[in-house]
Structure 1
Amino acid sequence: MTDAGAVLVVCTGNVCRSPYIERLLRASIGDLGVQVSSAGTMALVGEPMSEESSELLTQGGVDAEGFLARQLTPAMVEQADLVLTATREHRSEVVRTAPRGLRYVFALADFSDLVGAADVPSGVSGVAALVALASSRRGEVEARDVDDSGIDDPFRQGHEAYARMASQVEQVLPPVVAAFRQLSPTY
């Protein structure tokens, strides 16, 4: 964990969605001192990122090199300040793995909605502050329909499925990045 905090991104195999989101988020907020990593609930441990996810990142100017899939562990969840999951089902699996994470585990789309329209108070710093802000807005923001609440799994489904995944991420990640950008530096 760093002073600014640590974010863990979770999907199933940790070769398509979560590494894609991890690398995009890291490229967008890495200069803020936030540590960003990923893992899978049923990871293909030691496997590289899928070729399609890697290509999409590279086309966008984001480094995709050196990635290896990791299996989610309770310690990973407990060491994170925020866990973002590809789907609500992943959120449930993460909380079953590490019940202490309940208060800081969110499906990415839900977290995006919770912090998207919020103004981060000035002087607030660190990932934990965003978690507190998102949690405080749970009763104020209408929940998404189930069909619109997750990032589709493109694993072994071809370029069209990966393009759909990338499009879904592009819809929900910018508000998260904007919220991080409103944080005060921790140095």
Structure 2
Amino acid sequence: MFRILTVCTGNICRSPLAAHLLQSKLGHERIDVQSAGVGALEGAPMPDPAQDIAARLGLIWYADHQGKQISSQDAVTADLILALDRGHRRRIVELHPPAVRYTYTLTEFAHIASNMPESDLSEILQRADSAEHGALEAVSRSRGVVPPLESPDALDIADPYRRPIEVYEQSSAQIVTAVDSIVAYFNHTARLHKDLLAEPRRNGH
């Protein structure tokens, strides 16, 4: 099982939306996506505007969601952590320093994955234990190699909590765009990994 953890502040707006979008769109049994907050409103539900957006996106889990505080064990057991802004990324690494190797902001991971050279990806997937771990290794190796986003602020998803509905809409749109890029990347790596594994059989080896 490949474990993804999305993290924001209160775990009632951004990270649960990102987690459930990822889980619903990836939709296969090898990936488990959870969410947590670095300053969680534990047990709190999603605010009404966030619930409305979740419903509009076709997600049905939102009424049962409760804020959950991230633990060091969460950081230890995750294969990939997607923070919703740079402050969350920093807090996660402070909580569990080795997580620096597999913690990204959501938009950072999406940007690197979207600019991954196909040749580099194929080379890594040929020897990967799984498509998901190969996909993560490829992004890790390209970190600092793929040109960065034009503005560092683009690494952050706007926090909509207790702000106007327009901010909720902006935030959710940013999340959907990043999630779609990440889903496309994982789906592509899964297909490519399957094809690479089949090549020896096709060649009679």
Q: TM exceeds 0.5?
A: yes
Tell whether 2:140 aligns with 1:143: no
Counterpart in 1 of 2:200? none
Code of the aligned partner of 1:56: I
Normalised TM-score (structure 1): 0.91
Counterpart in 2 of 1:16? 13
- Runs of 5+ consecutive residues of structure 1 not aligned to the other structure: none
Q: Distance in 2 between the 1:6 and 1:129 partners?
A: 14
Code of the aligned partner of 1:31: H
Q: Select the residue among 15, 26, 38 that pairs with 1:29.
A: 26
Alignment of 1:63-74 (within 5 A): 63=60, 64-74=62-72
Q: Distance in 1 between the 2:13 and 2:131 partners?
A: 27
Higher helix share: 2
Secondary structure class of the residue paired with 1:65: helix
Q: Distance in 2 between the 1:12 and 1:126 partners?
A: 30
Q: Distance in 2 between the 1:27 and 1:11 partners?
A: 19
Q: Distance in 1 between the 2:132 and 2:81 partners?
A: 10
Deviation larger for 49-58 or 34-43: 49-58
Percent of paired sites with the same residue: 29
Tell whether 2:182 aligns with 1:176: yes
Q: Select the residue among 54, 57, 74 that pairs with 1:57.
A: 54
Code of the aligned partner of 1:151: I
Q: Select the residue among 136, 150, 159 that pairs with 1:131.
A: 136
Normalised TM-score (structure 2): 0.83
Q: Which has the larger radius of gyration?
A: 2
* Alignment length (residue pairs): 184
Secondary structure class of the residue paired with 1:10: strand
- Runs of 5+ consecutive residues of structure 2 not aligned to the other structure: 194-205
Counterpart in 1 of 2:173? 167
Deviation larger for 86-95 or 124-133: 124-133
Q: Distance in 2 between the 1:54 and 1:183 partners?
A: 32
